[in-house]
Amino acid sequence: MKQMLNWIHTRYAEKILLDDIARAGQLSRSECCRYFKRILKKTPLNHVTDYRIQKSLIALQQSESSVTDVAYQVGFNSTKNTKKQSSQLHRAYQMQICR
């Protein structure tokens, strides 16, 4: 698990595929998914998304960049998903500000 998490945490801004994560842990795709679900209670790609949101919140607090710019910087690069992910990121940021 440590190798896969380290791999994700050093490459979160890049395009990440399940195959890449599994390869980092020397597991098959299905073994990788089972392992993540058993240990972290989420899929590998959900962990990537959660980690990107964490990094985005930090970046938004430390810069004047827009939510969309930060979303691209942390790896939310799909134009199809960017609007959805930007709104998720915006909600997470607003929730953190309100604490």
Between CA 41 and CA 5 the distance in angstroms is: 14
Cβ atoms within 10 Å, residue 55: 17
Q: Quickly state the pLDDT bin for 39 (edges 50, 70, 90).
A: very high
- Residue range 1-19, pLDDT digits in tens: 999 999 999 999 999 999 9
Domains of the chain: 2-97 (1.10.10.60)
Q: In 3D, which of 81, 37, 8 has the Cα closest to residue 89?
A: 81
Q: Quickly state the pLDDT bin for 76 (edges 50, 70, 90).
A: confident
Q: In 3D, which of 56, 59, 55, 33 has the Cα closest to residue 46?
A: 33
Q: Quickly state the pLDDT bin for 67 (edges 50, 70, 90).
A: confident
Between CA 86 and CA 73 the distance in angstroms is: 12
